[in-house]
Amino acid sequence: MLIGREGDLELIRGFVDDAGVRGGALLLSGDAGVGKSELLDAAAAHAHAAGTRVVRAAGVEFESSVGFAGLLQILHPLLGGLEGLSAPYRDALGVALGLEHGAPPRQLMVSNAVSALLAHAGAERPLLVVVDDLPWLDRASATVMGFAARRLGGSGDRVGFLGAYRSEDGSFFDRGGITTHHLRPLGPAAAEELLRERFPALTPRVRTRLLSEARGNPLALLELPIALGPTRRAAAAIPDVLPLGRRLQTLFAARIEALPPTTRLLLLCAVLDGTGDLHTLQAATATATGPGPGRGPEPEPEREPDPPASRTWPTRSAQDSSTWTTPPAG
């Protein structure tokens, strides 16, 4: 049972049940570490228990520039149904997925062929397509799957599409017309319940500090105590700057690496300063980067120090602007 997710689980299970009868599409959005993948797992388990066929895939960063790589991953378990399609659809998918040689098919032909293949699979048995990390799908795959997903509701094809993406991530997957459920951080009571269940030896002071730092993010709630280690978890106090485990470091690093050099320098100055005073940070970055061309440094106005900045949990940067790799002929 996912703590604090009873309402989200009820919504997703209801979607799975409905999609098994009349089809439909649903997207999950939320910050990094908020629990989207866990809810996808729960949806897949519910579908399996109901006798629905489940096809799972996930966007891969290093394949995001390879045309139709994502589509091949999604459709691979269904390729046995190609023989049930008309020859034009079968040929279009064969060429697009690299299974056959031929002239690049038109985008609309590939999109219709995917819809036909999903419908063919759903006619035999209810089908649920689950795709995590939508923003990392290559452009061609995202365009085609968005086309197919938008046409599932009310089609009677017994095909459901359930996808997940991090909030504010750019994507070639067109979400227009598809219902989106935003997954929020855990409430205070649920966050404390999760900490007490997984780390019962935490002292009250340490638990309170971790709850304040994690802000209801389940991944942070589970990773911060591990990074502290058993000795610090049982201590009366913990460091002012909390250590981060490998998974949390990866989340921060992915976002920081995508920032411009000047912004990264500003963040470094903020970490070294530690006060969150913007007046100090402005002076430090002006010294490091130097004055603008043809002018000396500008005097800084007198002002009150700003309150310390608070931590927010990062979201991944938008994927690269790779292009449709098989443009329409003619």
Quote the crossing angle between the two packed helices 107-124 and 87-96, to the nearest 10°. Answer: 110
**Please, is 84 exposed, middle or buried when counting C-beta atoms within 10 Å of its C-beta (0-12, 13-18, 19+)?**
middle
Tell me if 97 sits within 8 A of 68, measured CB to CB: yes
d(CA 273, CA 50): 56
In what helix (H) or strand (E) does residue 130 lie, and over which residues does it extend? strand 127-132
pLDDT tens figures, 229-241 = 766 666 656 767 6
Provide the pLDDT for residue 38. 96
pLDDT for the residue 310 = 44
pLDDT the model gives residue 173 = 82
Q: What is the pTM of this model?
A: 0.75
State the pLDDT at residue 202: 87
pLDDT per position in the chain (330 positions), as tens?
A: 799 999 999 999 999 999 999 999 999 999 888 999 999 999 999 999 999 999 999 999 889 999 999 999 999 999 999 999 999 999 999 999 999 999 999 999 999 999 999 999 999 999 999 999 999 999 999 999 999 999 997 767 899 999 999 887 767 787 778 999 999 999 999 999 999 999 998 888 889 989 998 999 999 998 888 888 766 666 656 767 676 767 766 666 666 776 788 888 888 887 777 776 777 777 776 766 655 444 444 455 555 544 444 444 544 433 333 334 443 444
- What is residue 124's predicted lDDT score, i.e. its pLDDT? 93
Coil, strand, or helix at residue 181? strand
| Size of the chain, expressed as the number of residues it contains | 330
Which are the contacts of 260, defined by CB distance < 8 A and separation ≥ 6?
none
| Structure-token pair, residue 92 | 């279009």
Structure confidence at residue 318 (pLDDT): 34
Tell me the HSE value of 95 on the side-chain side, using a 13 A CA sphere. Answer: 19
Two structure tokens written together for 240: 């002012």
pLDDT of residue 182: 95
Reduce the DSSP state of residue 175 to 3 states and report it: coil
Q: Which residues are 129's β-sheet partners?
A: 55, 161
The per-residue pLDDT for 203 is 87
205: its two tokens: 């002071």
